[in-house]
Structure 1
Amino acid sequence: MKKRKPELPEVFVGRDAVRDGALTASDLRGPRVRRLFRGVYCPSVVRDSHELRCRAAALTGAGALVLTGRSAAVVRGVEVASTSDPVEVIALPGHRVNRRPGLNVRRVRIASTDHQPWGTIAIASPERMVFDVLAGRPLIRAVADADRILRAGSTTQQRMASYLADRHDHGVVRAREALALTDPRAESPPESELRVRMHFEGLHPEPQLRIYADGKFVARVDFAFEKERLVVEYDGAWHWRGTGIDRMRCARPAGRSTSSPRR
Protein backbone atom coordinates (compact mmCIF):
# COMPACT_ATOMS: atom_id res chain seq x y z
CA MET A 1 0.00 0.00 0.00
CA LYS A 2 1.37 3.35 -1.03
CA LYS A 3 2.22 5.60 1.91
CA ARG A 4 0.03 8.70 2.04
CA LYS A 5 1.86 12.00 1.94
CA PRO A 6 1.41 14.33 4.94
CA GLU A 7 -1.08 17.14 4.40
CA LEU A 8 0.35 20.58 3.90
CA PRO A 9 -0.44 23.28 6.48
CA GLU A 10 -1.58 26.71 5.34
CA VAL A 11 1.96 28.07 5.70
CA PHE A 12 5.12 26.00 5.86
CA VAL A 13 8.88 26.03 5.41
CA GLY A 14 9.71 24.43 2.09
CA ARG A 15 12.69 22.40 3.25
CA ASP A 16 10.64 20.99 6.14
CA ALA A 17 7.89 19.85 3.75
CA VAL A 18 10.48 18.17 1.53
CA ARG A 19 12.16 16.52 4.54
CA ASP A 20 8.81 15.18 5.79
CA GLY A 21 7.92 13.80 2.36
CA ALA A 22 4.93 16.09 1.80
CA LEU A 23 6.54 17.57 -1.31
CA THR A 24 9.51 17.08 -3.55
CA ALA A 25 12.02 19.82 -4.26
CA SER A 26 10.55 20.21 -7.74
CA ASP A 27 7.06 20.69 -6.25
CA LEU A 28 8.31 23.92 -4.68
CA ARG A 29 8.75 25.29 -8.18
CA GLY A 30 5.42 23.99 -9.49
CA PRO A 31 1.75 24.99 -9.38
CA ARG A 32 0.88 23.16 -6.15
CA VAL A 33 2.36 25.85 -3.93
CA ARG A 34 2.83 29.62 -3.81
CA ARG A 35 5.93 31.24 -2.33
CA LEU A 36 5.18 33.91 0.31
CA PHE A 37 8.75 34.60 1.44
CA ARG A 38 12.05 33.05 0.49
CA GLY A 39 11.81 29.50 1.79
CA VAL A 40 8.21 29.86 3.08
CA TYR A 41 5.18 28.69 1.09
CA CYS A 42 1.46 28.00 1.17
CA PRO A 43 -0.66 25.63 -0.92
CA SER A 44 -1.82 27.43 -4.06
CA VAL A 45 -5.47 26.84 -3.12
CA VAL A 46 -5.13 28.89 0.08
CA ARG A 47 -6.48 32.43 -0.21
CA ASP A 48 -3.73 35.00 0.12
CA SER A 49 -4.12 37.69 2.78
CA HIS A 50 -2.02 39.95 4.95
CA GLU A 51 -2.80 37.78 7.97
CA LEU A 52 -1.53 34.72 6.10
CA ARG A 53 1.68 36.57 5.28
CA CYS A 54 2.07 37.52 8.95
CA ARG A 55 1.94 33.83 9.84
CA ALA A 56 4.43 33.09 7.08
CA ALA A 57 6.73 35.83 8.37
CA ALA A 58 6.71 34.16 11.78
CA LEU A 59 8.39 31.14 10.18
CA THR A 60 11.27 33.28 8.92
CA GLY A 61 12.46 34.42 12.35
CA ALA A 62 11.28 32.19 15.18
CA GLY A 63 12.09 33.79 18.52
CA ALA A 64 13.64 36.83 16.87
CA LEU A 65 10.75 39.01 15.70
CA VAL A 66 7.94 41.13 17.10
CA LEU A 67 4.98 41.67 14.78
CA THR A 68 3.90 45.30 15.06
CA GLY A 69 2.22 48.25 13.38
CA ARG A 70 -0.51 47.58 10.84
CA SER A 71 0.45 43.90 10.63
CA ALA A 72 -0.23 43.42 14.34
CA ALA A 73 -3.50 45.28 13.89
CA VAL A 74 -4.58 42.87 11.14
CA VAL A 75 -3.81 39.89 13.37
CA ARG A 76 -5.90 41.58 16.09
CA GLY A 77 -8.81 41.83 13.67
CA VAL A 78 -8.49 45.33 12.18
CA GLU A 79 -7.96 45.23 8.40
CA VAL A 80 -5.63 48.18 7.89
CA ALA A 81 -3.11 46.42 5.62
CA SER A 82 -3.54 44.67 2.29
CA THR A 83 -1.94 41.55 0.89
CA SER A 84 0.59 43.64 -1.03
CA ASP A 85 1.73 45.60 2.04
CA PRO A 86 4.96 44.43 3.68
CA VAL A 87 4.71 42.63 7.00
CA GLU A 88 5.96 44.97 9.74
CA VAL A 89 8.28 43.48 12.35
CA ILE A 90 10.88 44.55 14.89
CA ALA A 91 14.02 42.43 15.26
CA LEU A 92 14.74 41.65 18.90
CA PRO A 93 18.22 42.56 20.21
CA GLY A 94 20.87 39.90 19.78
CA HIS A 95 19.13 38.17 16.88
CA ARG A 96 20.21 38.19 13.27
CA VAL A 97 17.29 38.49 10.87
CA ASN A 98 17.78 38.15 7.14
CA ARG A 99 15.88 40.75 5.15
CA ARG A 100 13.39 39.41 2.66
CA PRO A 101 11.20 41.13 0.05
CA GLY A 102 7.81 41.71 1.63
CA LEU A 103 9.20 41.89 5.16
CA ASN A 104 9.82 45.31 6.70
CA VAL A 105 12.37 44.68 9.47
CA ARG A 106 13.28 47.47 11.88
CA ARG A 107 15.95 47.36 14.55
CA VAL A 108 14.71 49.59 17.34
CA ARG A 109 14.52 49.30 21.09
CA ILE A 110 11.40 47.60 22.40
CA ALA A 111 10.69 46.87 26.06
CA SER A 112 9.82 43.35 27.17
CA THR A 113 6.49 44.71 28.42
CA ASP A 114 5.67 45.91 24.90
CA HIS A 115 5.17 42.47 23.39
CA GLN A 116 3.77 39.03 24.14
CA PRO A 117 4.13 35.59 22.56
CA TRP A 118 2.38 34.91 19.26
CA GLY A 119 3.13 31.53 17.78
CA THR A 120 6.87 31.20 17.22
CA ILE A 121 7.45 34.97 17.48
CA ALA A 122 5.90 37.83 19.47
CA ILE A 123 3.23 40.45 18.81
CA ALA A 124 3.35 44.05 19.99
CA SER A 125 1.04 45.22 22.75
CA PRO A 126 -1.89 47.34 21.51
CA GLU A 127 -0.19 50.55 22.66
CA ARG A 128 3.15 49.72 21.04
CA MET A 129 1.29 48.63 17.90
CA VAL A 130 -0.53 51.97 17.64
CA PHE A 131 2.65 53.89 18.40
CA ASP A 132 4.35 52.24 15.44
CA VAL A 133 1.34 53.06 13.23
CA LEU A 134 1.34 56.71 14.33
CA ALA A 135 5.10 57.14 14.04
CA GLY A 136 5.73 55.18 10.89
CA ARG A 137 3.09 56.39 8.43
CA PRO A 138 2.48 59.70 6.62
CA LEU A 139 0.41 61.82 9.00
CA ILE A 140 -3.00 61.63 7.32
CA ARG A 141 -2.74 57.89 6.67
CA ALA A 142 -1.48 57.31 10.22
CA VAL A 143 -4.53 59.07 11.66
CA ALA A 144 -6.90 57.11 9.41
CA ASP A 145 -5.35 53.78 10.40
CA ALA A 146 -5.28 54.71 14.09
CA ASP A 147 -8.95 55.77 13.94
CA ARG A 148 -9.91 52.27 12.81
CA ILE A 149 -7.81 50.61 15.50
CA LEU A 150 -9.19 52.86 18.22
CA ARG A 151 -12.74 52.32 16.97
CA ALA A 152 -12.20 48.56 17.25
CA GLY A 153 -11.36 49.02 20.93
CA SER A 154 -7.81 47.66 20.92
CA THR A 155 -6.79 50.61 23.06
CA THR A 156 -8.01 54.15 23.77
CA GLN A 157 -6.83 57.68 23.13
CA GLN A 158 -6.32 58.13 26.86
CA ARG A 159 -4.15 55.02 27.19
CA MET A 160 -2.17 56.06 24.14
CA ALA A 161 -1.59 59.56 25.54
CA SER A 162 -0.25 58.04 28.77
CA TYR A 163 1.91 55.58 26.81
CA LEU A 164 3.49 58.36 24.73
CA ALA A 165 3.83 60.88 27.55
CA ASP A 166 7.36 60.13 28.73
CA ARG A 167 8.81 58.43 25.69
CA HIS A 168 11.84 59.73 23.78
CA ASP A 169 11.88 57.22 20.91
CA HIS A 170 12.48 58.28 17.36
CA GLY A 171 9.11 59.32 15.92
CA VAL A 172 7.38 60.00 19.23
CA VAL A 173 6.79 63.69 18.38
CA ARG A 174 5.10 62.67 15.12
CA ALA A 175 3.09 60.04 17.02
CA ARG A 176 1.81 62.62 19.53
CA GLU A 177 0.85 64.99 16.71
CA ALA A 178 -1.06 62.24 14.92
CA LEU A 179 -2.75 61.00 18.11
CA ALA A 180 -4.10 64.49 18.77
CA LEU A 181 -5.91 64.31 15.42
CA THR A 182 -7.52 60.89 15.92
CA ASP A 183 -11.23 60.35 16.45
CA PRO A 184 -12.59 56.79 16.82
CA ARG A 185 -16.04 57.97 15.70
CA ALA A 186 -14.80 57.93 12.09
CA GLU A 187 -16.50 55.15 10.14
CA SER A 188 -14.07 54.82 7.24
CA PRO A 189 -10.50 55.78 6.32
CA PRO A 190 -11.66 58.33 3.72
CA GLU A 191 -13.76 60.06 6.38
CA SER A 192 -10.72 60.22 8.63
CA GLU A 193 -8.58 61.65 5.85
CA LEU A 194 -11.20 64.26 4.99
CA ARG A 195 -11.53 65.27 8.64
CA VAL A 196 -7.77 65.80 8.95
CA ARG A 197 -7.64 67.77 5.71
CA MET A 198 -10.43 70.00 6.98
CA HIS A 199 -8.55 70.44 10.26
CA PHE A 200 -5.54 71.80 8.40
CA GLU A 201 -7.84 74.18 6.55
CA GLY A 202 -9.06 75.53 9.88
CA LEU A 203 -12.38 73.67 9.75
CA HIS A 204 -13.48 71.67 12.79
CA PRO A 205 -16.86 69.96 12.25
CA GLU A 206 -18.61 67.57 14.61
CA PRO A 207 -18.31 63.99 13.26
CA GLN A 208 -21.25 61.59 13.05
CA LEU A 209 -23.86 64.13 14.14
CA ARG A 210 -27.52 63.09 14.42
CA ILE A 211 -29.90 65.53 12.75
CA TYR A 212 -33.41 66.06 14.12
CA ALA A 213 -36.29 68.09 12.64
CA ASP A 214 -39.26 68.91 14.90
CA GLY A 215 -38.04 66.30 17.36
CA LYS A 216 -37.86 63.52 14.78
CA PHE A 217 -34.64 61.83 13.71
CA VAL A 218 -33.74 62.73 10.12
CA ALA A 219 -30.22 61.45 9.52
CA ARG A 220 -26.78 60.88 10.89
CA VAL A 221 -24.25 62.84 8.86
CA ASP A 222 -20.52 62.42 8.41
CA PHE A 223 -19.69 65.97 9.54
CA ALA A 224 -21.69 68.94 10.73
CA PHE A 225 -21.07 72.59 11.52
CA GLU A 226 -23.94 73.10 13.96
CA LYS A 227 -23.64 76.87 14.27
CA GLU A 228 -23.74 77.32 10.51
CA ARG A 229 -26.31 74.52 10.10
CA LEU A 230 -24.10 72.98 7.45
CA VAL A 231 -23.44 69.27 6.95
CA VAL A 232 -20.72 67.59 4.92
CA GLU A 233 -21.16 64.11 3.51
CA TYR A 234 -18.18 62.17 2.21
CA ASP A 235 -18.26 61.47 -1.53
CA GLY A 236 -16.26 58.37 -2.48
CA ALA A 237 -15.26 59.79 -5.86
CA TRP A 238 -13.53 62.68 -4.08
CA HIS A 239 -11.23 60.27 -2.27
CA TRP A 240 -9.96 58.64 -5.42
CA ARG A 241 -9.53 61.88 -7.28
CA GLY A 242 -7.65 63.30 -4.31
CA THR A 243 -8.14 66.87 -5.45
CA GLY A 244 -9.02 68.52 -2.16
CA ILE A 245 -11.73 70.08 -0.08
CA ASP A 246 -13.32 71.91 -3.02
CA ARG A 247 -14.90 68.59 -4.02
CA MET A 248 -16.77 68.05 -0.76
CA ARG A 249 -20.51 67.48 -1.19
CA CYS A 250 -22.42 69.79 1.17
CA ALA A 251 -26.05 70.34 2.11
CA ARG A 252 -27.95 72.39 4.65
CA PRO A 253 -30.33 70.43 6.89
CA ALA A 254 -33.88 71.63 7.37
CA GLY A 255 -35.19 72.37 10.83
CA ARG A 256 -33.26 72.48 14.10
CA SER A 257 -30.20 70.26 14.38
CA THR A 258 -29.14 68.73 17.66
CA SER A 259 -26.44 66.25 18.50
CA SER A 260 -26.84 62.99 20.33
CA PRO A 261 -24.38 61.96 23.07
CA ARG A 262 -21.06 60.84 21.67
CA ARG A 263 -20.63 57.13 21.35
Structure 2
Amino acid sequence: MRLLAEQWAAPHLVVSHSAAAWLWDVELPHASAEFTALRRNLSRKRSGVRCLPLAETDVTVRRGLRCTKVDRTLGDLLRSAGQDEAVIGVESALTWRRIRTYRRAPLTTLDRVAAEAAQPRIHGRHQALQRLSLIDPHAASPAETLARLRMREAGLRPTSQAELTTPEGRRVRPDFLFTREGVVVEIEGYAYHGSREAHRRDLARFNDLQLCPQVRLVLRFTAGEVMHSPAQMITRIRHALARTPPTP
Protein backbone atom coordinates (compact mmCIF):
# COMPACT_ATOMS: atom_id res chain seq x y z
CA MET A 1 0.00 0.00 0.00
CA ARG A 2 2.83 2.39 0.77
CA LEU A 3 4.42 1.77 -2.64
CA LEU A 4 1.08 2.38 -4.37
CA ALA A 5 0.47 5.58 -2.42
CA GLU A 6 3.93 6.95 -3.21
CA GLN A 7 3.59 6.15 -6.90
CA TRP A 8 0.10 7.62 -7.17
CA ALA A 9 1.39 10.84 -5.61
CA ALA A 10 4.48 10.95 -7.86
CA PRO A 11 3.98 8.93 -11.09
CA HIS A 12 7.58 9.56 -12.21
CA LEU A 13 8.83 7.34 -9.35
CA VAL A 14 9.65 3.74 -10.26
CA VAL A 15 9.82 1.03 -7.58
CA SER A 16 13.43 -0.19 -7.52
CA HIS A 17 16.21 -1.90 -5.56
CA SER A 18 14.98 -3.98 -2.58
CA ALA A 19 11.35 -2.94 -3.06
CA ALA A 20 11.40 -4.13 -6.69
CA ALA A 21 13.11 -7.35 -5.60
CA TRP A 22 10.24 -7.91 -3.15
CA LEU A 23 7.74 -7.42 -5.98
CA TRP A 24 9.57 -10.06 -8.03
CA ASP A 25 9.55 -12.55 -5.11
CA VAL A 26 13.31 -12.38 -4.77
CA GLU A 27 14.44 -13.41 -1.28
CA LEU A 28 16.23 -10.70 0.70
CA PRO A 29 17.06 -10.25 4.40
CA HIS A 30 14.83 -7.16 4.40
CA ALA A 31 13.19 -4.73 1.98
CA SER A 32 12.31 -1.05 2.21
CA ALA A 33 10.30 1.38 0.09
CA GLU A 34 12.84 2.40 -2.56
CA PHE A 35 12.27 4.26 -5.82
CA THR A 36 14.27 5.57 -8.76
CA ALA A 37 13.14 8.80 -10.40
CA LEU A 38 12.51 8.72 -14.14
CA ARG A 39 13.49 12.36 -14.30
CA ARG A 40 16.44 13.92 -12.54
CA ASN A 41 15.13 17.46 -12.01
CA LEU A 42 13.27 16.74 -8.79
CA SER A 43 12.01 19.85 -7.04
CA ARG A 44 12.92 18.45 -3.63
CA LYS A 45 14.63 15.49 -2.06
CA ARG A 46 12.38 12.55 -1.25
CA SER A 47 13.19 9.83 1.26
CA GLY A 48 14.05 6.54 -0.42
CA VAL A 49 14.30 8.08 -3.90
CA ARG A 50 17.45 7.72 -6.02
CA CYS A 51 18.32 9.77 -9.08
CA LEU A 52 19.97 7.29 -11.44
CA PRO A 53 20.01 6.80 -15.21
CA LEU A 54 16.82 4.90 -15.95
CA ALA A 55 15.24 4.26 -19.35
CA GLU A 56 11.65 3.27 -20.07
CA THR A 57 13.04 -0.02 -21.38
CA ASP A 58 14.23 -0.78 -17.81
CA VAL A 59 10.67 -0.45 -16.48
CA THR A 60 7.68 -2.80 -16.43
CA VAL A 61 4.48 -3.24 -14.41
CA ARG A 62 4.08 -5.85 -11.68
CA ARG A 63 1.22 -6.09 -9.18
CA GLY A 64 -0.09 -2.78 -10.49
CA LEU A 65 3.18 -0.93 -9.81
CA ARG A 66 5.73 0.46 -12.23
CA CYS A 67 9.01 -1.16 -11.24
CA THR A 68 12.41 -1.98 -12.61
CA LYS A 69 12.72 -5.20 -14.57
CA VAL A 70 14.40 -8.20 -12.96
CA ASP A 71 17.86 -7.75 -14.45
CA ARG A 72 17.95 -4.03 -13.72
CA THR A 73 16.76 -4.72 -10.16
CA LEU A 74 19.54 -7.25 -9.57
CA GLY A 75 22.10 -4.92 -11.12
CA ASP A 76 20.98 -2.16 -8.75
CA LEU A 77 21.40 -4.50 -5.78
CA LEU A 78 24.90 -5.49 -6.91
CA ARG A 79 25.85 -1.84 -7.34
CA SER A 80 24.48 -0.35 -4.14
CA ALA A 81 23.12 -2.89 -1.60
CA GLY A 82 25.18 -4.58 1.11
CA GLN A 83 27.22 -7.54 -0.08
CA ASP A 84 25.13 -10.19 1.71
CA GLU A 85 21.88 -8.69 0.45
CA ALA A 86 23.14 -8.41 -3.13
CA VAL A 87 24.47 -11.96 -3.33
CA ILE A 88 21.39 -13.45 -1.64
CA GLY A 89 19.11 -11.58 -4.06
CA VAL A 90 20.93 -12.61 -7.22
CA GLU A 91 21.24 -16.26 -6.18
CA SER A 92 17.56 -16.34 -5.25
CA ALA A 93 16.59 -15.00 -8.67
CA LEU A 94 18.74 -17.56 -10.50
CA THR A 95 17.20 -20.67 -8.93
CA TRP A 96 13.92 -22.37 -8.11
CA ARG A 97 12.73 -21.21 -4.69
CA ARG A 98 9.82 -21.94 -2.34
CA ILE A 99 8.13 -18.56 -1.87
CA ARG A 100 5.20 -18.58 0.57
CA THR A 101 2.75 -21.11 -0.95
CA TYR A 102 4.29 -21.69 -4.37
CA ARG A 103 7.53 -22.78 -6.02
CA ARG A 104 8.93 -19.89 -8.02
CA ALA A 105 10.88 -20.62 -11.22
CA PRO A 106 14.23 -18.91 -11.97
CA LEU A 107 13.67 -15.30 -13.03
CA THR A 108 16.76 -14.75 -15.17
CA THR A 109 20.19 -16.13 -16.08
CA LEU A 110 23.68 -15.36 -14.81
CA ASP A 111 24.71 -14.09 -18.26
CA ARG A 112 21.90 -11.54 -18.29
CA VAL A 113 22.74 -10.34 -14.79
CA ALA A 114 26.43 -10.07 -15.74
CA ALA A 115 25.53 -7.96 -18.79
CA GLU A 116 23.49 -5.60 -16.60
CA ALA A 117 26.24 -5.39 -13.97
CA ALA A 118 28.73 -4.38 -16.66
CA GLN A 119 26.68 -1.34 -17.74
CA PRO A 120 29.11 1.62 -17.65
CA ARG A 121 26.43 4.32 -17.39
CA ILE A 122 25.58 3.72 -13.73
CA HIS A 123 27.85 4.36 -10.76
CA GLY A 124 28.94 1.19 -8.94
CA ARG A 125 29.96 -0.96 -11.91
CA HIS A 126 33.29 -2.02 -10.35
CA GLN A 127 31.61 -3.14 -7.12
CA ALA A 128 28.88 -4.96 -9.05
CA LEU A 129 31.43 -6.96 -11.05
CA GLN A 130 33.37 -7.83 -7.90
CA ARG A 131 30.24 -9.12 -6.20
CA LEU A 132 29.25 -11.05 -9.31
CA SER A 133 32.36 -13.19 -8.78
CA LEU A 134 30.84 -14.37 -5.46
CA ILE A 135 27.67 -15.75 -7.07
CA ASP A 136 27.00 -19.49 -6.90
CA PRO A 137 24.15 -20.34 -9.31
CA HIS A 138 23.52 -23.61 -7.42
CA ALA A 139 22.72 -22.05 -4.02
CA ALA A 140 19.39 -23.27 -2.71
CA SER A 141 18.51 -20.84 0.10
CA PRO A 142 19.51 -17.52 1.68
CA ALA A 143 21.00 -19.38 4.67
CA GLU A 144 23.14 -21.45 2.31
CA THR A 145 24.38 -18.27 0.66
CA LEU A 146 25.29 -16.70 3.99
CA ALA A 147 27.05 -19.86 5.16
CA ARG A 148 29.15 -19.95 2.00
CA LEU A 149 30.07 -16.27 2.32
CA ARG A 150 31.09 -16.68 5.95
CA MET A 151 33.19 -19.74 5.09
CA ARG A 152 34.82 -17.87 2.22
CA GLU A 153 35.71 -14.99 4.53
CA ALA A 154 37.32 -17.53 6.87
CA GLY A 155 39.42 -18.96 4.03
CA LEU A 156 37.33 -22.15 3.68
CA ARG A 157 36.46 -23.25 0.14
CA PRO A 158 34.13 -26.28 0.11
CA THR A 159 32.43 -27.54 -3.05
CA SER A 160 28.76 -26.58 -3.31
CA GLN A 161 26.15 -29.16 -4.31
CA ALA A 162 28.67 -31.89 -5.17
CA GLU A 163 26.96 -34.98 -6.59
CA LEU A 164 27.53 -38.09 -4.50
CA THR A 165 26.20 -41.64 -4.90
CA THR A 166 25.27 -44.12 -2.17
CA PRO A 167 26.29 -47.81 -2.45
CA GLU A 168 22.69 -48.50 -3.54
CA GLY A 169 23.01 -46.02 -6.40
CA ARG A 170 20.94 -43.16 -4.94
CA ARG A 171 22.23 -39.70 -5.76
CA VAL A 172 22.51 -37.00 -3.11
CA ARG A 173 23.86 -33.45 -3.24
CA PRO A 174 25.16 -32.08 0.08
CA ASP A 175 25.06 -28.32 0.55
CA PHE A 176 28.86 -28.21 1.01
CA LEU A 177 31.57 -30.84 0.81
CA PHE A 178 35.20 -30.54 1.86
CA THR A 179 36.35 -33.19 -0.57
CA ARG A 180 39.81 -34.00 0.81
CA GLU A 181 38.60 -34.32 4.42
CA GLY A 182 35.25 -35.91 3.59
CA VAL A 183 33.39 -33.36 5.74
CA VAL A 184 29.86 -32.38 4.70
CA VAL A 185 28.18 -29.19 5.93
CA GLU A 186 24.38 -29.08 5.74
CA ILE A 187 22.29 -25.94 6.36
CA GLU A 188 18.83 -26.71 7.71
CA GLY A 189 15.97 -24.24 7.46
CA TYR A 190 12.69 -24.81 9.32
CA ALA A 191 10.69 -23.70 6.28
CA TYR A 192 11.94 -26.75 4.39
CA HIS A 193 11.65 -29.26 7.25
CA GLY A 194 8.51 -28.20 9.08
CA SER A 195 6.20 -31.16 8.38
CA ARG A 196 6.20 -34.89 9.14
CA GLU A 197 6.90 -35.79 5.52
CA ALA A 198 9.69 -33.22 5.29
CA HIS A 199 11.17 -34.62 8.49
CA ARG A 200 11.08 -38.14 7.01
CA ARG A 201 12.83 -36.94 3.84
CA ASP A 202 15.38 -35.11 5.94
CA LEU A 203 16.26 -38.25 7.90
CA ALA A 204 16.52 -40.31 4.71
CA ARG A 205 18.82 -37.71 3.18
CA PHE A 206 21.00 -37.68 6.30
CA ASN A 207 21.32 -41.46 6.21
CA ASP A 208 22.14 -41.41 2.50
CA LEU A 209 24.90 -38.88 3.11
CA GLN A 210 26.40 -41.02 5.87
CA LEU A 211 26.50 -44.01 3.50
CA CYS A 212 28.39 -42.21 0.71
CA PRO A 213 31.97 -43.51 0.59
CA GLN A 214 33.37 -39.98 0.18
CA VAL A 215 31.76 -38.79 3.45
CA ARG A 216 33.46 -39.21 6.81
CA LEU A 217 31.53 -36.64 8.89
CA VAL A 218 28.32 -34.62 8.49
CA LEU A 219 27.82 -31.29 10.28
CA ARG A 220 24.37 -29.71 10.39
CA PHE A 221 23.61 -26.07 11.20
CA THR A 222 20.31 -24.24 11.44
CA ALA A 223 19.63 -21.06 9.49
CA GLY A 224 19.55 -19.25 12.84
CA GLU A 225 23.07 -20.40 13.68
CA VAL A 226 24.31 -19.23 10.29
CA MET A 227 22.75 -15.78 10.69
CA HIS A 228 23.36 -15.16 14.39
CA SER A 229 26.37 -17.29 15.35
CA PRO A 230 28.56 -17.55 12.23
CA ALA A 231 31.81 -17.47 14.24
CA GLN A 232 30.68 -20.52 16.22
CA MET A 233 29.79 -22.30 12.98
CA ILE A 234 33.24 -21.61 11.53
CA THR A 235 34.94 -22.82 14.71
CA ARG A 236 33.06 -26.12 14.61
CA ILE A 237 33.88 -26.62 10.93
CA ARG A 238 37.57 -25.97 11.61
CA HIS A 239 37.56 -28.47 14.48
CA ALA A 240 35.89 -31.07 12.23
CA LEU A 241 38.43 -30.53 9.47
CA ALA A 242 41.27 -30.87 11.97
CA ARG A 243 39.82 -34.18 13.24
CA THR A 244 39.52 -35.64 9.73
CA PRO A 245 42.91 -35.29 8.02
CA PRO A 246 42.85 -35.37 4.21
CA THR A 247 42.70 -38.81 2.66
CA PRO A 248 45.76 -39.77 0.62
One-letter identity of the residue aligned with 2:69: S
Q: Compute the TM-score of the two structures, normalised by the length of structure 1.
A: 0.64
Aligned to 2:6: 57
- Structure 2: unaligned runs, 5 residues or longer: 96-104, 188-220, 242-248
One-letter identity of the residue aligned with 1:139: Q
- Superposition RMSD in Å: 2.9
1:209 and 1:223 in contact (8 A); partners too? yes
Does residue 112 (structure 1) correspond to residue 61 (structure 2)? The answer is no
Alignment of 1:157-176 (within 5 A): 157-176=110-129
1:182 CA displacement: 1.2
1:69 and 1:129 in contact (8 A); partners too? yes
1:127 CA displacement: 1.3
Kindly name which structure, 1 or 2, has the bigger radius of gyration based on alpha carbons.
1
1:96 CA displacement: 3.5
Higher helix share: 2
Aligned to 1:184: 137
Pick from 46, 50, 66 the counterpart of residue 14 of structure 2. 66
Does residue 126 (structure 1) correspond to residue 70 (structure 2)? The answer is yes
Pick from 149, 157, 162 the counterpart of residue 196 of structure 1. 149
Query: Per the alignment, do residues 53 and 220 of structure 1 end up closer, same or farther by CA in structure 2, a change over 3 Å counting?
Result: farther
Aligned to 2:192: none
Aligned to 1:87: 33
1:191 CA displacement: 1.0
1:143 CA displacement: 0.7
One-letter identity of the residue aligned with 2:34: E
1:210 and 1:221 in contact (8 A); partners too? yes
1:224 CA displacement: 0.9
Aligned to 1:221: 174
Does residue 139 (structure 1) correspond to residue 88 (structure 2)? The answer is no
One-letter identity of the residue aligned with 1:129: T
Aligned to 1:156: 109
- Structure 1: unaligned runs, 5 residues or longer: 1-51, 253-263
1:161 CA displacement: 1.4
Q: Alignment length, in residue pairs?
A: 196
Cα deviation per residue 1:217-244 (whole Å; 9 max; x = unaligned)?
2743211122332211221242243342
Cα deviation per residue 1:173-227 (whole Å; 9 max; x = unaligned)?
1111111111232222121011122223333222223432224327432111223
Q: Distance in 2 between matches of 1:54 and 1:80?
A: 17
Q: Distance in 2 between matches of 1:162 and 1:143?
A: 16
Percent identity between the aligned chains? 30
One-letter identity of the residue aligned with 2:169: K
Higher relative contact order (CA 8 A, sep 6+): 2
